């Protein structure tokens, strides 16, 4: 049996991560892992506090591990603990020790970063502003560069992003 390749889809708020993850999963006939943070905000009716960050990242990873058992060839992961840590640094200027351990385990075969080149859309409690989106995007790219994590930036419309991502994923061995 061919091992499942995990694909991290990272990016700032309102940059199309979920849309791309769902479209890629449909294209490749596999599953994807939605961002747990969205569910957390919807079910609690509030934005996370610093003390919630580790649990959010841990739940995301547990769901990723469960989905990997159902995936075929690729597992598309709409965010990773790295994004949770970036937002922790943004909001609280620190990352707690447990989350720091999780964010270091970036064990993804491929990392895609969604460019913040579409319209910014408010999303209730979860999204802040176009300016924050741009700053977070810059922090994502900087963090990946600092850690030597190879990534591909996907840009444009969903159709354009799909062409870029499918080409990259199809060529991956």
* pLDDT tens digit sequence for 32-45: 999 998 899 889 98
47 pLDDT band, cuts 50/70/90, is: confident
Q: Return the C-alpha torsion angle 86, 92, 98, 102, nearest 10.
A: -10
What is the enclosing helix (H) or strand (E) of 100? helix 97-104
Instruction: Please tell me the distance from the alpha carbon of residue 31 to that of residue 15, in angstroms, as a whole number.
Output: 20
Number of structural domains the chain divides into: 1
- Which domain CATH number covers 12? 3.40.50.300
Range of the domain at 148: 5-171
If you average pLDDT over residues 46-53, what whole number do you get?
A: 90
Banded model confidence at residue 106, pLDDT cuts 50, 70, 90: confident
Measured between alpha carbons, how far is residue 54 from residues 67, 78, 82, 136 in Å? 20, 17, 11, 19
pLDDT at 38: 85
């Amino acid at each position: 049996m061919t091992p499942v390749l995990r694909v991290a889809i990272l990016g700032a708020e309102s940059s199309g991560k979920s849309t791309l993850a769902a479209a890629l999963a449909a294209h490749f006939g596999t599953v994807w892992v939605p961002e747990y943070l969205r569910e957390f905000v919807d079910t609690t009716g509030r934005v996370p506090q610093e003390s919630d960050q580790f649990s959010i990242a841990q739940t995301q990873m547990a769901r990723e591990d469960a989905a990997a058992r159902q995936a075929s060839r690729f597992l598309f992961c709409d965010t990773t603990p790295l994004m949770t840590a970036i937002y922790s640094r943004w909001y609280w200027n620190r990352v707690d020790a447990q989350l720091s351990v999780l964010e270091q385990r970036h064990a993804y075969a491929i990392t895609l970063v969604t460019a913040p080149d579409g319209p910014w859309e408010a999303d209730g409690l979860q999204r802040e502003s176009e300016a924050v989106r741009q700053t977070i995007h810059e922090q994502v790219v900087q963090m990946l560069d600092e850690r030597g994590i190879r990534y591909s930036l996907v840009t444009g419309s969903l159709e354009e992003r799909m062409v870029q991502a499918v080409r990259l994923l199809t060529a991956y061995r």
